[in-house]
């Protein structure tokens, strides 16, 4: 069985590094735990490392986090379901009138942040419709408008327009405040913005916080996937067994191939990076990863384990796969 080996202590150190970077820019860190299914040990390391709140997208994970950390601030960053009941956060993200009504119907006093579309072309209220939605929220005695948020580089946002995204959410906050709306918090985006900060750029002063998950788990920013200074990129390691090794004719040439017992069911289409040099992926099926071994590789015994560092997509897939053995160590 493939193994997903998680160094919880390394994730905590990554969190400390990212939190320190953000504090230097007067920003708070909201740690996103969706990549680890709201795993309490990982979440505890993130809180100890300096995160001011935890954020997740799934009801299962939010309930898990609430049970483990009753005093922590939880953010539901997944839009409320209109078909089924949903687990709210201490702060729940909304982007439509219908979602606002669904949160208000839960009863009690609920805090919300409006998710705004700023170029990723995924979720978020269009900028020109934001004022009316904010007015609707403030007009409901069951709701408290805490701020605005945006997301970028998760769906269709390219590197060339990331500044446009963060500048747009800053201008939106200024406009709402000018209209008398209470906008205490402005979430400027995710781990994709860390590259800007690392290389000396500053974000608009209106931004108060970032939501980061990939940077804490994998030690990299999420725009160009470059390692962050001071972060560990090997905190999450995949190990898969060699179940076949042959020199075969492939594409008209002889090639040395390894077949690893891990595939799309476990990785989806997420990339992996081999720790040892001389290995390269040829392709994958539902159950297997086919790897070409360079001439520097000696014979590999069947049953040997090959180490890989997953991309964020591969990490999320592996963590949710019932066919991958999860091992947590440290802290």
Per-residue pLDDT in tens (0 to 9) along the chain, 331 residues: 999 999 999 999 999 999 999 999 999 999 999 999 999 999 999 999 999 999 999 999 999 999 999 999 999 999 999 888 899 999 999 999 999 999 999 999 999 999 999 999 899 999 999 999 999 999 999 999 999 999 998 888 888 999 999 999 999 999 999 999 989 999 999 999 999 999 889 999 999 999 999 999 999 999 999 999 999 999 999 999 999 998 888 777 888 999 999 999 999 999 999 999 899 999 999 999 999 998 877 778 899 999 999 999 999 999 999 999 999 998 7
Distance of CA 37 to the CA centre of its chain: 11
CA distances from 117 to 154, 156, 176, 311 (A): 12, 12, 15, 26
Q: Are residues 261 and 312 in the same domain?
A: yes
Query: Is residue 128 a part of any domain in this protein?
Result: yes
Query: Is residue 170 a part of any domain in this protein?
Result: yes
Q: Are residues 201 and 258 in the same domain?
A: no
Task: Give the CATH number for residue 153.
Answer: 3.20.20.10
Are the C-beta atoms of residues 6 and 40 closer than 8 Å to each other? no
Q: Are residues 249 and 304 in the same domain?
A: yes
Buried (b) or exposed (e) across 77-95, using 16+ Cβ within 10 A?
A: bbbbeeeeebbbbbbbbbb
Model confidence, pTM: 0.95
- Our count of domains for the chain comes to 2
What pLDDT shows up at residue 263?
Answer: 97
Measured CA to CA, the distance from residue 76 to residue 123 in angstroms comes to 14
Q: Which helix (H) or strand (E) holds 195?
A: helix 194-198
Buried (b) or exposed (e) across 21-51, using 16+ Cβ within 10 A?
A: bbeeeebbbbbbbbbbbbbebbbbbbbebbb
Closest to 265 measured CA to CA, from 204, 195, 324: 324
- Domain boundary residue, one of 160, 189, 218: 218
Structural domain for 191, as ranges:
8-218
Are the C-beta atoms of residues 112 and 94 closer than 8 Å to each other? yes
């Amino acid at each position: 069985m493939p193994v997903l080996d998680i160094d919880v202590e390394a994730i905590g150190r990554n969190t400390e590094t990212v939190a320190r970077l953000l504090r230097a820019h007067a920003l708070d860190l909201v740690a996103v735990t969706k990549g680890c299914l709201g795993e309490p040990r990982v979440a505890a390391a993130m809180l100890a490392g300096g995160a001011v709140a935890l954020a997740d997208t799934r009801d299962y994970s939010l309930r898990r986090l609430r049970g483990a950390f009753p005093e922590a601030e939880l953010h539901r960053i997944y839009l409320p379901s209109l078909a089924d009941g949903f687990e709210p956060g201490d702060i729940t993200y909304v982007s439509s009138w219908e979602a606002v009504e669904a949160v208000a119907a839960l009863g009690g006093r609920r805090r919300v942040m409006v998710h705004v579309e700023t170029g990723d072309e995924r979720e978020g209220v269009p900028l020109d419709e934001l004022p009316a939605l904010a007015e609707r929220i403030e007009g409901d005695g069951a709701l408290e408008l805490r701020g605005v948020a945006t997301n970028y580089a998760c769906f269709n946002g390219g590197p060339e327009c990331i500044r446009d995204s963060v500048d747009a959410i800053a201008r939106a906050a200024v406009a709402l405040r000018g209209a008398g709306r209470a906008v205490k918090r402005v979430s400027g985006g995710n781990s994709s913005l860390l590259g800007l900060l690392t290389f000396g750029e500053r974000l608009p002063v209106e931004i108060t916080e970032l939501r980061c998950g990939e940077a804490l788990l994998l030690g990299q920013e999420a725009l160009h996937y470059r390692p962050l200074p001071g972060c560990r990129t090997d905190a999450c390691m995949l190990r898969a067994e060699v179940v076949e090794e042959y020199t075969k004719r492939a594409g008209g040439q002889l090639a040395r191939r390894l077949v690893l017992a891990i595939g799309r069911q476990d990785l989806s289409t997420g990339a992996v990076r081999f720790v040892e040099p001389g290995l390269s992926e040829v392709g994958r099926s539902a159950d297997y990863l086919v790897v070409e071994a360079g001439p520097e590789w000696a014979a590999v015994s069947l049953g040997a384990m090959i180490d890989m560092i997953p991309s964020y997509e591969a990490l999320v897939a592996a963590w949710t796969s019932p066919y991958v053995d999860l091992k947590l160590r440290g802290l």
